[in-house]
Amino acid sequence: MEIIEEMKGRTKMPYRMICEGLQLPVGSFHRWRCRIRENLVLIKRPGPNKVEPFDCSVLDAEIQSLDQCSPGLKYIHTTLVKPDRHSSMVL
């Protein structure tokens, strides 16, 4: 980025011409420049964020606690109780 800005200051050439000379897509340059202005990371790592390892013992303990409910309500509770707690750990 500093090289491009320095070339722009010395030559007064448009950014597009400077980027073409460096074989850099001008869109990437503008995106990086915008990210610098907003104090963001220039190049983001592709793909989804990493998830924490799933602890099956926690889920097993919750299922065991649900098994102590009355037989008629057991299946309702296993599908409806706390679905969001483990949703980020299961793909």
Say if 43 falls within a structural domain.
no
The Cβ of residue 59 has, within 10 Å, a number of other Cβ atoms equal to 15
> Does a structural domain hold residue 42?
no
Place of tokens 């679905």: 83
Q: Would you say residue 12 lies in a domain?
A: yes
Q: Do 77 and 56 share a structural domain?
A: yes
What pTM was computed for the model? 0.46
Per-residue burial over 5-39, b if 16 or more Cβ lie within 10 Å, else e, is eebeeeeeeebeebbeeeeeeeeebeebeeeeeee
Mean pLDDT of 43-61: 82
Give the chain's domain count: 2
Structural domain for 88, as ranges: 48-91
pLDDT at 10: 92
User: How many Cβ atoms are within 10 Å of 69's Cβ, its own excluded?
Assistant: 14
Quick one: pLDDT band at residue 3, thresholds 50, 70, 90?
confident
Mean pLDDT of the chain: 78
Confidence of residue 1 (pLDDT cuts 50, 70, 90): confident
pLDDT of residue 89: 58
Q: What is the pLDDT of residues 29-50, one digit of tens each?
A: 999 899 889 988 877 778 888 8
